[in-house]
Homo-oligomer: A and B are copies of this chain.
Amino acid sequence: MKYSKVKDLLAGTLVNTEVGVRGWVRTFRNNQFIALNDGSTINNIQCVVDFENTDETTLKRITTGAALQLHGTLVESQGAGQKFEVQVTRLEILGDSDAEKFPMQPKKHSLEFLRENAHLRVRTNAFGAIMRVRSALAFAIHQYFREKGFVYVHTPVITGADAEGAGEMFQVTSLNLDQIPRKEDGTINYKEDFFGKHTNLTVSGQLEAETYAMALGQVYTFGPTFRAENSNTSRHLAEFWMIEPEVAFNDLHDNMDLAEDFIRYVIKYTLDHCEDDIAFLESRLLDEEKSKPQAERSEMKLREKLNFVLENNFKRVSYTEAIDILKNSKPNKNKKFAYVIEEWGADLQSEHERYLVEKHFKSPVILFDYPANIKAFYMRLNEDGKTVRAMDILFPGIGEIVGGSQREERYEVLVEKMEKLGIDQEELWWYLDTRRFGSAIHSGFGLGFERLVLFVTGMSNIRDVIPFPRTPQNAEF
């Protein structure tokens, strides 16, 4: 007997044939109607039990969460709410689910409770939808780059470099912390560690990806990255996935074009391939926002917001223009910003970014040409000598979703900058080699995958868009 997926049964092509289906009970009504789900779609298939000819013990075991194997006939449903249903002829309980103990009851659970049950929350409608959307987005990312001729590069997770400079790092070691080997001067003898030196978890694959871009032309990474920062916010994870394309011969404007085109492609793919899931997530968000005051609710419904991104170019605004807008803004004049913008050179805080994106432009914004001294060492210095070819893409409700730049391709300028910032040239000898041999302009960016998933699913806490979140004081599961 071949078993069908719920998704295929709901498509109806097997109507009036004998079918088999396996899945988990979502609800069981009137001792007769099983709503069965197998994860292939957010929708359940109604399975109608001939309760008069089914023994009482079996009926009692049809509880929320139980795993069933059913045989029967797929028929057009007479009832409201579904087009097709299975008239069950044979029913087998594969695995019970004690109704008293199963944590995922058929009722509304708080997101916090669901986080504590991250191994089971994916059995709910919302988390099934989120994780299918996440998977579709990941596939769309690979397909986009493959169609464009990019090579996918796995840059290392364990790195000997301390200089990547994107944030605090976790240490990786095989040393026994109860018996740390020491050198004569008392310092730790990393020669005895697995890699023979001090190693960390990567904060970015960019520097390695650059070496590949200077050979293969167009490359991208898509892998886990890490920050040991004690940021207990709804937008930060200690472990998250990042996409980092890097393209030889691209300047900063090519880089912006790529980022926009890329983001549109993956959102479009997901809208096209996850219709039911996104429709559900849209209604979930509407429900959630009902409890909020009007002013805090989203101006657009989820699909409106996604289509807005597809149909409107991102606003491209230089840092200098942004500072002017902010200086003259009401919240700045009224000192409503926690950090009042006084002059050019100020680092933008999340409150400023939100103002620009959500109040002023009401659109995704690309800020570019930042002051050199608030950006990383590898960014291309502009001819003005004080700004660098950096860009950040800011999204409504999310904040920074992309950070990128044209890279400094000039060996002497790069070395001078590293010296100024005290970055070890010996450690990055291989990075400098890309500027020694056949250097060329090139650009790239990093996109935080979970922030993209947040945007597309309309969820508001980043812990709800990754299967098992890692945050300060939490590495459960």
Contacts and interface: CB of A to CB of B under 8 A. Distances in A.
> Interface extent on A, as a size class?
35 or more
A131 B151 CA distance: 8
Interface string A172-197: 11110110100000001000001111
A174 B167 CA distance: 13
Contact of A440 (B25, B67, B153, B470): B67
Contacts of A446: none
Contacts of A439: 67, 94-96
A38 B219 CA distance: 12
Given A120-B433, A188-B177, A199-B475, A194 B170 contact: yes
A123 interface: yes
A59 interface: no
A467 B155 contact: yes
A376 interface: no
A172 B174 contact: no
A101 B436 contact: yes
B139 A146 contact: yes
A476 interface: yes
Given A172-B201, A211-B122, A158 B239 contact: yes
A461 interface: no
Nearest to A434: B119
Nearest to A410: B95
Given A139-B143, A156-B475, 15 more contacts: A25-B438, A38-B217, A40-B216, A97-B438, A131-B216, A138-B142, A139-B146, A154-B467, A155-B468, A157-B201, A157-B239, A158-B239, A168-B174, A195-B238, A208-B477
